[in-house]
Amino acid sequence: MSEGLDQPRLGLTPEPDEERREDVLPERVELHPEGREDVLPERVELDDWPEAEAEAEAQPEPEPAPAPEEEEDHPAEEDELPRSAVAQHAAGQLRIPDGYGVIEGQPTGNRRAVGVVVARFNGELTSELLTRALDELERAGVGREAVTVIPVPGAFELPLAAMALAKTRRYSCIVALGAVIRGETPHFEYVASEAASGLQLAGLETGVPVAFGVLTTDSEDQARARLDKGAEAVRTALEMADVFSQLRAAAGAAPA
């Protein structure tokens, strides 16, 4: 017989009955936050379950936590958040005190030649700007034969075309029309800024009024709501042309 076969095999010993296992199981303990050990209550036997359930139901339910108090609204002067300016334009008319010499232009044709530079980019918008500008020129008394229209690729090219027209000295004023709509890149800022500064430079260097009729908006809907800027630019250009004409006349009439 092999050695060790007469020894009992592991795991084949009979399991202790329920009473013996309950006797050898140690009591579970739980460490209290203050450091002492609290003995957990003994296990509830099945025979005692109804009484334990009734005892648990008798315990009072914990009161709900109070809701956080709502913050009171502070007056505007106490609010720490910055506030953006709402009004961008002030209503009302300019009032000049009596007793001063005033040279004021009128938006009339008065046999003036007008140059119009218009961007093809965003053509659906610029076409409407051009239509309203030409209608306004006709209402002001400027005949079609006195108007020259020069289309250019985009708003960025408007200053160059305006400068070229102004340097011919054939036109009393220039109207620049275009539409630049903000996109997802800084391209909008560069084009809008350069168009504005370039058109102003054309007028400053040549002495010919150049009216800014370029829409610079955040969306197409905003641009459509401002299509009357075409007619407004015409009135601005004609008024400034009349002022310049009066200034030259006054300078020529002044004694040397």
Instruction: Identify the active-site residue in 32, 74, 89, 187.
Output: 187
- How many Cβ atoms are within 10 Å of 42's Cβ, its own excluded? 9
Q: Decide the pairing of beta strands 37-39 and 173-181.
A: unpaired
Q: Give the Cα separation of 234 and 62 in Å (integer).
A: 78
Tokens of 219: 């969306």
Tokens of 84: 């953006």
Q: Give the Cα separation of 234 and 221 in Å (integer).
A: 23
Q: Is 74 a catalytic residue?
A: no
The answer to whether 242 and 105 are in contact (CB under 8 A) is yes
Q: Give the Cα separation of 104 and 255 in Å (integer).
A: 22
Tokens of 177: 């029309």
Could you give the angle at which helices 158-167 and 187-206 cross, rounded to 10 degrees?
Answer: 10
Quote helix, strand, coil % in the chain, to nearest 5: 40, 15, 45
Tokens of 58: 């008798």
Tokens of 93: 């008319």
Q: Tell which residue, 160, 158, 133, 159, has the closest CA to residue 144.
A: 133
The answer to whether 204 and 166 are in contact (CB under 8 A) is no
Q: Write out the catalytic residue numbers.
A: 187
